[in-house]
Each structure stands twice: as structure tokens, then as C-alpha cells.
Amino acid sequence: MAKNRNQILESIVDFFIEEGRILTKREYAALGHSAPLHYRLIKRTFNSRDYHMVLKMCERDFRAKWNSIGKVVKEPVKEPVEKPVQEWEDELSPLERLRQESDG
């Protein structure tokens, strides 16, 4: 499916939002086919314009999305709560209880 220039620019900006930062030319080209659009496709679509010019077009045409790159706040990871020893002993199977009683 062929994409027009605006769709390509928007997919680049969306990719940068997912990554959380703007990739350099070398980093983006190194992604190869794992990037949403291959680097050569971008070069071909924009008549071999330099990468920084494509980034300028992204910034100009999609300013709101562009400004949100790297500002997505991830939810903090909840630390596991340790159970008190008494609760842990209550959850033991009968075999484990017998084993503890015979050991201790």
C-alpha cells in the first residue's frame, strides 16, 4: 500500500513517540527493516533530502505530536509487598507444615 508524504511523516513521528526520543540518522538507518519505514524508502520519497530536513518537516507539520516525544510518563513499577511470616506459614500445604514441624 502506497503512502503519501504526510502519512510517512506521521508514522515517523509516531515511531519516535514510541521510542521516547528522536533517533539520529545513523541509529534509524541501523534499524533496517525493524523500523516502520525503511530508511531508503524515506530517502526515495523525499527526493534524497537529508535526514535532518525530513525531521524539520515532521516538526513543522506535526508540532503537537513532535513536542510530546520523550514526555510520555511511564507508570512506576510497584514494588512487591512482602507478606508477614504468619501469613506465609498459613499458606503452606499440609505436607510442608509436617516437614517444618519435623525439622524444627
Query: For 19-56, how does the pLDDT look when each residue is reduced to its tens digit (9 = 90+)?
Result: 888 888 899 999 888 888 888 888 888 887 788 899 99
pLDDT at 84 over 70: no
Kindly tell me the sign of the dihedral angle through the C-alpha atoms of 7, 11, 14, 20.
negative
Angle at 1 (CA atoms; ends 69, 27), nearest 5 degrees: 35
Domain tally, the chain: 1
Domain housing 39: 5-67
Asked if residue 90 belongs to a domain, the reply is: no
Asked if residue 104 belongs to a domain, the reply is: no
Asked if residue 30 belongs to a domain, the reply is: yes
Asked if residue 92 belongs to a domain, the reply is: no
> What are the angstrom distances between the C-alpha of 104 and each of 87, 96, 97, 98?
18, 12, 10, 10
Asked if residue 42 belongs to a domain, the reply is: yes
